Chain A
């Protein structure tokens, strides 16, 4: 599994579907970075992580690049 997924080319909810596929395959203790390209995608993915009890670290990398670091 890769440690970073650039999903900035996908708008919501396609970005969410792609993010869910990554999270579903994440093993316990594994870490992954997701890069999102718009605020709707960010909101949706953060909401999904919250439902799953995961707290991501957030960083902004430029105007429209949001980086979520998730550890399962």
Chain B
């Protein structure tokens, strides 16, 4: 990126002043960590303290900001177009970084993601293709991934596109090993006992898990997955029962101590309860992970960190749908 003459020239980046020469400098790092915030009223167990790692405070609004810059920076793009499958967050981060770097971009999204995310991608100028989850026999239930694979490999389009491929890109894991993991370790002063994350591309759980286990092998790494393949938790993947070839190659299973399933109702209900009891508006996947952490709180002691990938606002239509369901109505009245 071209450096323009300005008053920052020659100055070292100072996160206390919060003055930046471009937006990508705000992406979280151990020097500029995303906040770790304790949840209080939703968790009655004082002996099992739960902290949310609020990734919405990244500049483009989600945990994916961390991996995107690294992956794009390392790609030899040339005059090719960047294409990536995404349930929204990676796409939004990619579009923002690509715009900052002047790179054309196309995002393939599953049809079922919230309309808000599709609108944001179009607003950012990305070319958006929608793919039915059942579109591709090669990647069953992951049509977007299959479509990008076809664009990269088709004789007619080969050589015109390049994909960061977050499912197989080691820089995805590396970003979390170098930033998210060290941040959590520093912020908890090495006292973290439990780490909760979901399975998606599996970069977060593999990178943070590896870092924390190296610091303290006793830290428990808990993976959270939807209770069924047909779920409404964008970005999350059910690993159990998935054929080996469809599991992201970057997943490091050796760092995972337990895998717990969660239903959509529990995930959405917990997100709503968190918003109403602690005033923290999060996306439904945070609700899923927090629900599992709260179950752990019933019979364990220690300090837990739960990844909160993004915020509630880009899921407004999904929350509206939830509030209309029987489970939503019951939860609404109960709270």
Select from chain A the residue with minimum beta-carbon distance to B144.
A13
Is the Cβ of B136 less than 8 Å from the Cβ of A13? yes
**B residues in contact with A43, CB < 8 Å:** 137
Let me know if B155 and A12 touch, CB within 8 A: no
- How many residues does chain B have at the interface if contact means C-beta atoms less than 8 Å apart? 16
Closest residue on chain A to residue B147 by CB atoms: A13
* Chain B 125-161: CB-based contact to A (< 8 A → 1; otherwise 0): 0000101000111100001001100110111110000
Q: Are A10 and B156 in contact (CB under 8 A)?
A: yes
Partner of A10, one of B131, B146, B154: B154
Distance between Cα atoms of A56 and B150 in the complex (Å): 24
Nearest chain B CB to A9's CB is how many angstroms away?
3
Which residues does chain B contribute within 8 Å of A61, judged by CB atoms? none
Q: Is the CB of A12 within 8 A of B150?
A: yes
Q: Which residue of chain B is the closest to A7 with respect to CB atoms? A: B156
Quick check: B137 and A11 within 8 Å, CB to CB? no
Q: How far is the CA of A14 from the CA of B153 in the complex (A)?
A: 10
With both beta carbons as reference points, the residue of chain A lying nearest to B136 in the complex is identified as A13
Which B residue sits closest to A17, measured CB to CB? B147
Q: How near does chain B come to A7, taking the closest CB pair, in angstroms? A: 8
Least CB distance, A48 to chain B, in whole angstroms:
10
Given contacts A16-B135, A44-B137, contact A9 B156 (CB under 8 A): yes
Q: How many A-B residue pairs have CB under 8 A?
A: 43
Q: Roughly how many angstroms separate A44 CA and B146 CA in the complex, as a whole number?
A: 13
* A residues near B137, Cβ cutoff 8 Å: 12-13, 40, 43-44
The answer to whether B150 and A13 touch across the interface, beta carbons within 8 angstroms, is yes
Which A residues are in CB contact (< 8 Å) with B131?
Answer: 13, 17
Q: Of residues 1 to 37 in A, which have CB atoms within 8 Å of B's CB atoms?
A: 9-17, 37
A43–B153 alpha-carbon span in the complex (Å): 19
Neighbouring B residues of A12 by C-beta, 8 Å: 136-138, 146, 150
Tell me, in angstroms, the Cα distance from A17 to B150 when the chains sit together.
Answer: 11
Most chain B CB within 10 A, of A12, A14, A40, A43, is at A14
Whole-angstrom distance between the alpha carbons of A18 and B147 in the complex? Answer: 11
A52 to B153, CA, bound (A): 28
Q: B residues within 8 A CB of A9? A: 154-157
Contact indicator B135/A11 (Cβ below 8 Å):
no
Bound-complex Cα distance A10 to B155 (A): 6
What 1/0 mask marks residues of chain B from 162 to 205 whose CB sits below 8 Å from any chain A CB?
00000000000000000000000000000000000000000000
Give the interface centre of B136, B143, B157 by most chain A CB atoms within 10 Å. Answer: B136
Q: Bound complex: CA of A11 vs CA of B151, how far in Å?
A: 8
Q: Chain A residues in contact with chain B, CB under 8 A?
A: 9-17, 37, 40, 43-44
Give 5 A-B contacts (CB < 8 Å), ordered by A residue.
A9-B156, A10-B157, A12-B150, A13-B136, A44-B137
Sample of 16 more A-B contacts, CB < 8 Å, known A17-B129, A37-B155: A9-B154, A9-B156, A10-B154, A10-B157, A11-B154, A11-B155, A12-B137, A12-B146, A12-B150, A13-B131, A13-B136, A14-B157, A15-B150, A17-B135, A40-B137, A40-B138
